[in-house]
Structure 1
Amino acid sequence: MPKNKGKGGKNRRRGKNENENMKRELILKDDGQSYAQVTRILGSGYIEAFCFDNTGGKKRICHIRGKLRKKVWINQGDVILVGLRDYQDDKADVLMKYLSDEARELKRIRVDMNLGVAVGILFSYAQPVSMEG
């Protein structure tokens, strides 16, 4: 039999999806949602995140929904938007992941006063800073 020298399939003809420079609209939280930072990856589509909400900050186990799985990679230290559950206070669902420049923008407009975001550095859990100045 002859050796298999072909390049195989049509996959090699496909181009890469290059959309790194796309600027998307900054989505702010609504009622029943909270900003959070990933503290631990638990596996099987679950993460542990520190939520910045009116409870003064709380760690919750968050489920990565199917729309984000295998498409949006969530790592430790990432800023995410979670949907809080009415019936389970210690659990939440990941709605979206903020890019690093979006996280900086959230800090700049001071959406949540407990947000002390710096990319690669965990949030600070300090007292709120006044908007004056």
Structure 2
Amino acid sequence: MSNEDDVIRVRLPDRKKGELFGVVTSMLGAGHIKVRCEDGIERLARIPGKMRKKIWIREGDIVIVVPWSFQKDRADIIWRYTNPQVEWLERKGYLKF
């Protein structure tokens, strides 16, 4: 079975809910990180409690963020992609930053 035949299920951002791709630029501690979003804004994002212990996020990871409606320079992280998922996104042309 070749690499192209492998089935990879990848969650994409729901644009109706305001979700965006982002790249983790720096870790700030206490569940907060800096994320450069695909719209060009660098946001202070927080890792929700349900993700904090289960999913480890490092600098350079691709994530999905939801900007806050009342404070545009803040966001919540809702998803982190694994390396095979990132490769698939790049191959399909979803990542453009």
Q: TM-score, normalised by structure 1?
A: 0.63
The aligned residue for residue 42 of structure 1 is 28
User: What percent of counterpart residues are identical?
Assistant: 35
Q: Which runs of 5+ in 1 are unaligned?
A: 1-22, 116-133
Aligned residues: 89
How far apart in 1 are the matches of 2:73 and 2:8? 31
Measure how far apart 1:25 and its partner are.
Answer: 2.1
Partner of 1:96, secondary structure, is strand
Measure how far apart 1:111 and its partner are.
Answer: 1.6
> C-alpha deviations, 1:12-65, integer Å up to 9, x for none?
xxxxxxxxxxx7620001120100010000000000011013xxx111000101
* Aligned-residue RMSD, C-alpha: 1.4
Partner of 2:49, secondary structure, is coil
- Is residue 13 of structure 2 the alignment partner of residue 29 of structure 1? yes
- Is residue 91 of structure 2 the alignment partner of residue 102 of structure 1? no
* Larger fraction in strand: 2
How far apart in 2 are the matches of 1:82 and 1:90? 12
Which has the higher relative contact order, 1 or 2, with Cα contacts under 8 A spaced 6 or more apart?
2
